Amino acid sequence: MNILQITSSVRGKDSETTRVTNLVIDKLVAANPDATVVRRDFGAQPHPLLDGAAVGALFTPADQRSSEQAARVALDDALIAEAQAADVIVIGAPMYNFGMPAQLKGWFDAIARSGVTFRYTETGPVGLLANKKVYVATARGGVYPAEADPQVPHIRMLLNFLGLSDHTFIYSHGLNMGPEAAAKGQQAANEAVEAALA
C-alpha cells in the first residue's frame, strides 16, 4: 500500500489536522505493515503557487521550454506522480477564513492537469485518479452544519473532479470555543477515525 500524506497547516506540531492525519496513517500502517508513506508538508515547505510563469511553462510544448520552465513543470510533475502512485491519500485541511489554506489549494492547482489527472469529454470532465481512498481531516474554530459548511463542498468538488470520489471527511469542530468544546471536538475526530478505519 502506498500512502500519501498532504499537510497544509502552518501550525507545525500544534496542528489539529496533522494530529488527525497522523492517527489515520498510524492505523493504516498498523493494518498494512508493508505500507510506504510519502509525506508532503506544504506548511513547512510551500509548493510554488500557480502564477503567470507557471501557466506559461505548462502551455509551452515540452521540447520548447526553457530550463527554468522545465524545472517549474517538473515540480508539479513530482506531485502528480505521487498522487498517481498512491493507493490512499490522507489530507489535512484546516479551515482558514472559511476555506482551505492556500497551501492546499496550491496542491490541487499543481495536480489538476488536463489529459493527465482529468480529461474533457463531450459529456463533461472525467477524473483520471480513480480507485483511491481519500481521508480528509478538517479542523475549524467553530461549528458548521453540513448545509452551511463553506469549506468541504469546495474540497469535495475538487476531489470528485479528479476522480477521487471515495472520500471520507473527519471533523474537529469548535476548537476556538473554549477548552470543553475543543476537547469534545477532538474526541469526536478520534472516534470518527476509529469508525472510518474499523
190 in a known ligand binding site: no
C-alpha cell at 124: 463533461
59 in a known ligand binding site: no
Cα 145 from chain centroid?
21
Count of C-beta atoms within a 10 Å radius of residue 66? 11
Q: Tell me the torsion sign for CA atoms 106, 108, 109, 113.
A: positive
Distance between CA atoms of 36 and 166, rounded to whole angstroms? 20
Q: DSSP string of 114-174? A: BTTTEEEETTEEEES--S-EEEEEEE-SS---GGG-SSHHHHHHHHHHTT--EEEEEEE--
CB 175 within 8 A of CB 189: no
95 in a known ligand binding site: yes
98 in a known ligand binding site: yes
CB 176 within 8 A of CB 182: yes
42 in a known ligand binding site: no
Helix (H, G, I), strand (E, B) or coil at 77: helix
Distance between CA atoms of 18 and 139, rounded to whole angstroms? 10
Q: Which residues are annotated as a binding site?
A: 9, 95-98
Q: Which residues are annotated as a binding site for FMN?
A: 9, 95-98
